Amino acid sequence: KVHSEIQTDIVTLTRYLTETQHALGSTATGDFTLLCHALQFSFKSISYYIRRATLINLVGLAGSENKTGDEQKKLDVIGNEIFVNSMRSSGKVKVLVSEEEENALVFQGAGKYAVVCDPIDGSSNLDAGVSVGTIFGIFKLDDNAEGTADDVLLPGTELVAAGFTMYGASANLVLTMKGGNVNGFTLDNALGEFILTHPNMRMPKTRSIYSVNEGNSLYWDSPCREYFDSIKYPTKEGAKPYSSRYIGSMVADAYRTLCYGGMFAYPADKKSPKGKLRILYECAPMAMVMENAGGQAVDSHMKRMLEVVPTHIHDRSGIFMGSYDEIEKVKAVFGKHQ
Ligand code: AHG
Ligand code: MN
Ligand code: MN
Ligand code: MN
């Protein structure tokens, strides 16, 4: 065949969503599909502006701070606006929680979903051109939900879908649905479509890579110290120490962990007793991706991350996540101290 190399039967995100909706039969109204279409548009737009940032004066600080105390970059503000406008206009969202919005946004209309998002994760890396991304989670609200922030103070086990993008050498989208597998899509800039390039992503069960901000080790508690020492200074005859990889964008560190295996942690410590990463729009969506790819995610008390219920929309938690057996090792060391 002359064009045997050319793929002509491509699964785009649009096709994937349509097929998933059809597989659900008449129970599916198409609302979720339309919501995902709005989501993917926001990912494409954010990716576009990030790639053009240095050309159109979008680098640097916006001069403001968000509710969690982060200095906002110009792109944090723009990414948030893109996301908010896209969710509002979809008509499918009642409540939206964003890292960059102090309060939950409530939209009028028939929306029955709540969306939680970190519009740009890793924004301290933006001006250096290092990979950043968008994290999102979707809850389906009860019919009698009032449309307040309280509607989303739910454990991650209630998420109907979650995922993240990573704007790296290409724009990658990782998407998972409740009880489903994890699928990876890559944006084809020419077609303007996310293409299914990584169907059914499964994390290796074990891999000797650790990913943590080692600069915080002064503040770690003794179980944390003992765990990291155990992988860096193995005592078993012939055992090699782990490799260290830390990008400082959770999306990029998580994407590598998904692809190669290993573990990523942002532990609670003496400086950040509740951890740094935020439960609703950072920890829970990532935990769902990790679990559905065969891995695990727990908080600093070794509790399953997906069962942690935030008391406030911007609540934080420590997190350890990654390959199944790597998180078992974390639990074993912390277990000795309990
Ligand atoms: P954000 O840019 O959305 O505020 O999130 C930053 C997070 C996360 O991306 C990353 O894992 C972590 O902060 C890095 O923190 P340190 O610089 O403290 O290591
Ligand atoms: Mn931030
Ligand atoms: Mn973030
Ligand atoms: Mn962010």
CA 102 to centroid of ligand 3, rounded, Å: 15
Q: What is the pLDDT of residue 194?
A: 98
Distances (CA, A) of 21 to 17, 32, 97, 235: 6, 8, 25, 52
222-232 vs 324-336: helix crossing angle, rounded to 10: 130
Q: What is the pLDDT of residue 291?
A: 98
ipTM confidence: 0.98
Provide the percentage of residues in the chain whose pLDDT is more than 90.
Answer: 93
End-to-end Cα separation, the chain, in angstroms: 64
- The pair of structure tokens assigned to 22 is 């059809």
Question: Is pLDDT at 306 greater than 70 in this prediction?
Answer: yes
CB 291 within 8 A of CB 323: no
Query: What's 124-191 look like in SS3?
Result: HHHHHCCCEEEEEEEEECCCCCCCCHHHHCCCHHHEEEEEEEEECCCEEEEEEECCCCEEEEEEECCC
| φ/ψ (deg, to 5) at 166 | -130, 120
- Ligand 1 atom nearest the C-alpha of 135 is 3
Pocket of ligand 1 (CB under 6 A): 70, 99, 118, 121-124, 213, 248-250, 266, 276
The closest residue, in CA terms, to atom 3 on ligand 1 is 121
* Mutation pick for ligand 1 pocket among 74, 277, 278, 321 (CB with most ligand atoms within 8 Å): 277
pTM of the model: 0.97
The closest residue, in CA terms, to atom 16 on ligand 1 is 248
The closest residue, in CA terms, to atom 18 on ligand 1 is 213
The closest residue, in CA terms, to atom 6 on ligand 1 is 122
Which residues fall within 8 angstroms of residue 119, CB to CB, at 6 or more apart? 46, 76, 79, 80, 82, 83, 98, 99, 100, 134
Predicted confidence band of residue 18 (pLDDT cuts 50, 70, 90):
very high
CA 247 to centroid of ligand 1, rounded, Å: 9
Distance CA 133, CA 149 (A): 24
The closest residue, in CA terms, to atom 17 on ligand 1 is 248
In angstroms and rounded to an integer, the radius of gyration of the C-alpha atoms of the chain is 20
Predicted confidence band of residue 9 (pLDDT cuts 50, 70, 90):
very high
* Single-letter amino acid code for the residue at 196: L
Give the CA count within 13 Å in the CB-facing half-sphere of 271. 10
CA 239 to centroid of ligand 3, rounded, Å: 34
CA 265 to centroid of ligand 3, rounded, Å: 14
CA 123 to centroid of ligand 2, rounded, Å: 6
Give the CA count within 13 Å in the CB-facing half-sphere of 246. 13
Q: What is the pLDDT of residue 338?
A: 82
E strands, the chain, in order: 61-65, 71-73, 93-98, 105-106, 113-121, 132-140, 159-167, 171-177, 182-188, 193-198, 209-211, 243-244, 263-266, 296-298, 319-322
CA 316 to centroid of ligand 2, rounded, Å: 13
